[in-house]
Homo-oligomer: A and B are copies of this chain.
Amino acid sequence: MMEQKGTTKDQGSISRRDLLRGAGAIAAGGAFAAAGGTTLVGMAEASKQAGGAIYPWKYAKIDPDKAAMVAYNNWYRNFCSYGAASGIIVPQRELVGGPWNSFPLMALKFGEGGVEGWGTLCGCLLGGSVAISLAAGHDGKPMINDLMQWYSETMQPVFKPKKPRARFKSKTVSGSPLCHISVGKWMKAEGKSLGSAERRDRCARLTASVSYKIATMLNDWADGKYKPSYTNKQSAVGITTQNNCTGCHGSDVPSPI
């Protein structure tokens, strides 16, 4: 009983327009879901179900500098995942209210340090991706792909506050969305420890950089002028991947099954 009832209540309200938009996003993003071939079916089923929570939520354009400063300051409260999400969600509470007020940001704090310090997905990308999804729904998929690529391929942190809490020299390209690699490359370049004020401020600035980037993408999307840039297709590689095979495999990259 629980399963049956459950599966009719766990869907957001999705319009035909959303469905068509989502199909475009999949074509543009080309990511994992498309490999299985059921995404459109799943979405078609979802579109028939009016029950469940409102989704996505109304988005109001925000000043990317404001988003970045909210994220920067909130890193010092609850770290990266909470901070990056707050850079988008807190301004939406001010400007839109409604469902944005009901979302407990603390439920994203666990993303810190790549999930409670495990060094996996950078927490900025976890919290930031939730914020993108809440604002843009299916349209958020290419934005998340773009965010992952931009994070990995850009000299970071991009954002510097006017009054930083610590000073450091190094910017680094992580080549990866993983916390361990991103933090490790910066620590090696700067010669500072995990617990140093400099490393902490680097992560706070990176969190701010992510919220800044998200605000620019969502603002463009709200204006109807967002253009996805990520073009890799994981399905072509035959496995879910961050596209830097030789980084771990060296020259011995396995062939697709």
Residues of A participating in the B interface, judged by any CB pair closer than 8 Å: 2-3, 5-7, 9-12, 14, 29, 31-33, 35-38, 42, 45-46, 52-57, 63, 66, 69-70, 73-74, 76-79, 82, 86, 89-91, 93-94, 99, 101-121, 125-126, 129-130, 132-134, 137, 140-141, 144-145, 148, 177-180, 183-184, 187-188, 191-195, 200, 234-235, 238-243, 248, 254, 256-257
Query: Are A133 and B119 within 8 A (Cβ)?
Result: no
Query: Are B7 and A73 within 8 A (Cβ)?
Result: yes
List, in ascending order, chain B residues with CB within 8 A of A118's CB.
Answer: 31, 145, 148, 177, 234, 240-243
Query: Are B239 and A187 within 8 A (Cβ)?
Result: yes
Residue of B nearest to A250 (CB): B250
List, in ascending order, chain B residues with CB within 8 A of A29's CB.
Answer: 116
Most chain B beta-carbon contacts within 10 A, residue among A12, A107, A113, A200: A107
Query: Are A79 and B183 within 8 A (Cβ)?
Result: no
CB < 8 Å neighbour of A119 from B90, B240, B254: B240
Query: Are B140 and A110 within 8 A (Cβ)?
Result: yes
List, in ascending order, chain B residues with CB within 8 A of A10's CB.
Answer: 70, 74, 77, 82, 86, 89-90, 93, 105
List, in ascending order, chain B residues with CB within 8 A of A12's CB.
Answer: 104-106
Residue of B nearest to A193 (CB): B257
CB < 8 Å neighbour of A113 from B2, B31, B63, B134: B31
List, in ascending order, chain B residues with CB within 8 A of A114's CB.
Answer: 32, 121, 240
CB < 8 Å neighbour of A144 from B36, B82, B116, B257: B116
Query: Are B194 and A102 within 8 A (Cβ)?
Result: no
Residue of B nearest to A12 (CB): B106
Query: Are B66 and A3 within 8 A (Cβ)?
Result: yes
Known: A119-B241, A183-B239, A234-B117. A110 touches B141 (CB 8 A): yes
Residue of B nearest to A142 (CB): B116
